[in-house]
Amino acid sequence: MQRQIGELVIECVHGDITRQADIDIIVNAANKQLKGGGGVDGAINRAAGPELVKASRALAPIEAGQAVITEAFELPNDWVVHCVGPVYSQKPEVPKQLAACYRNALALAEDKQAGSIAFPAISAGIYGYPLDEAGAIAVQTVAERAREAVSIEHVRFVLFSEDVLAAFSEALSELS
């Protein structure tokens, strides 16, 4: 599933975020201590090698919604943005924190004048966000930010399972 929004191409693919060699920056769904973990965080740290967690831990702690950037070490990308998504709950700040992850990651990518960035489904794994809501927030926030984007031309959502791919693809197709 792919859409062009202004100058920006947004796509949803099924795959592994550690294998996106044509993308400048990949985004990690990290924890507040930036100390490595399971899920996508574990996969990114395994692929990047032990230097990544040393670099990210030096920038910890961060709060839900915040993002920091490090080198990508053995990954085939230039940089890794480490975001902390919110743990899902009914608290009103939760959707705002999830949107802030995507906005802050894009701002860091723009600072590096990157052309492309790949996101996983932040908060949609262990942190329990319902897939349709996580997809809608992700896609809408990226599309809004596209109006201000200067360097970024390509945003790829890399979804690890069919149900997450379906939820994000539907959100992208519903974008007006």
Handedness of CA 2, 107, 41, 175 (dihedral sign): negative
Contact flag: residue 65 with ligand ADP (CB under 6 A): no
Interacting residues with ligand ADP between 142 and 171 (CB under 6 A): 158, 160-161, 164
The secondary element (H helix, E strand) that includes residue 29 is: strand 25-29
- Using CB under 6 A, which of 29, 48, 165, 167 touches ligand ADP? 29
CB of 143 to ligand ADP, least distance (A): 20
- Using CB under 6 A, which of 10, 25, 40, 52 touches ligand ADP? 40
Nearest to 50 by CA among 69, 29, 68, 35: 35
> Would residue 132 show up in a list of annotated catalytic residues for this protein?
no
Contact flag: residue 120 with ligand ADP (CB under 6 A): yes
- The 10 Å CB-count burial string (b at 16+, else e) for 92-111 is eebbebbbbbbbbbbebbbe
Interacting residues with ligand ADP between 72 and 101 (CB under 6 A): 85
Helices (H), ranges, the chain: 39-48, 51-57, 93-111, 131-146, 162-174
Q: Give me the residues that bind ligand ADP (CB under 6 A), please.
A: 16-18, 29, 39-41, 43, 85, 120-127, 158, 160-161, 164
- Which are the catalytic amino acids? 41
